[in-house]
Amino acid sequence: MSLHQASGRWRFGLLLALVTAACWATLPVALKITLQQVDAYTLTWFRFVFAAGIMLAWLGARGGLGGFRDLARRQWWLLAIAAAGLIANYVLYLLGVQYTSPANAQLLIQLAPLLMALGGVVVFAEAFNRWQWTGLALIVGGLAMFFVEQLRLPGEAGGHYLLGSLLVIAAAIVWAVYALAQKQLLLRLSSPAILVAIYVVASIVLLPFAAPAALLRLDGLHWGLLLFCALNTLVAYGAFAEALAHWQASRVSAVLALTPLLCLGFAALVHALWPAAIAAERIGVIGLAGAGAVVLGSAATSLLGQKR
| Predicted TM-score of the model (pTM) | 0.79
For the chain, what is the domain count? 1
Domain assignment present for residue 5? The answer is no
At residue 155, the pLDDT reads 55
Residue 7 has what pLDDT? 61
Angle CA 170–139–269, to nearest 5: 80
Tell me the Cα Rg of the chain: 19
Give the N- to C-terminal CA distance of the chain in Å, as an integer: 30
Q: Is residue 3 part of a domain?
A: no
Q: What is the mean pLDDT of residues 169-182?
A: 90
Whether 83 is in a domain gets the answer yes
Which of 283, 245, 291, 235 has its CA nearest to residue 23? Answer: 235
| Euclidean distance between CA atoms 295 and 262, whole angstroms | 11
Residues 6+ apart with CB under 8 A from 214: 37, 38, 39, 42
99 half-sphere exposure, CB direction, 13 A CA radius: 16
What is the structure's pLDDT at 292?
Answer: 82
Residue 269 domain-assigned? yes
Q: What pLDDT is attached to residue 307?
A: 47
Establish if 4 belongs to a structural domain.
no
Task: Name 121's Cβ contacts closer than 8 Å, sequence gap at least 6.
Answer: 127, 128, 250
Average pLDDT value for the chain: 82
Residue 125 has pLDDT above 80, yes or no: no
What's the pLDDT at 46? Answer: 95
Please indicate, yes or no, if residue 77 is contained in any of the structural domains: yes
Task: Give mean pLDDT, residues 250-279.
Answer: 80
Q: What is the pLDDT of residue 308?
A: 41
Q: DSSP letter string over the chain?
A: -------S-HHHHHHHHHHHHHHHHHHHHHHHHHTTTS-HHHHHHHHHHHHHHHHHHHHHHHT--GGGGG--HHHHHHHHHHHHHHHHHHHHHHHHHHHS-HHHHHHHTTHHHHHHHHHHHHHS-----HHHHHHHHHHHHHHHHHHHHHHHSTTTSSHHHHHHHHHHHHHHHHHHHHHHHHHHHTTTS-HHHHHHHHHHHHHHHHGGG--GGGGGG--HHHHHHHHHHHHHHHHHHHHHHHHHHHS-HHHHHHHHTTHHHHHHHHHHHHHHH-TTTSPPP---HHHHHHHHHHHHHHHHHHHTTS--
Q: Give the C-alpha separation, 194 to 83, whole Å.
A: 9
- What angle do the packed helices 10-34 and 259-273 form, to 10 degrees? 40
Predicted confidence (pLDDT) per residue in 5-55, tens digit: 556 677 888 888 889 988 988 998 899 899 888 999 999 999 999 999 998
Residue 1 located in a structural domain: no
Range with top average pLDDT, 177-181, 274-278, 289-293, 299-303: 177-181
- Can you give the pLDDT at residue 49? 93
Higher-pLDDT residue of 3 and 167 is 167
Residue 148: give the domain boundaries.
Answer: 10-303
User: Does residue 239 belong to any structural domain of this protein?
Assistant: yes
44-101 pLDDT, tens digit each: 999 999 999 998 888 888 776 776 777 778 888 888 999 999 999 999 999 998 888 8
Which tops the pLDDT comparison, 17 or 153?
A: 17
Phi, psi at 72, each rounded to 5°: -85, 170
Question: Residue 305: which pLDDT band, with cuts at 50, 70 and 90?
Answer: low
Q: Are 24 and 261 in contact (CB under 8 A)?
A: no
Percentage, residues of the chain above pLDDT 90:
22
pLDDT score of 252 more than 70: yes
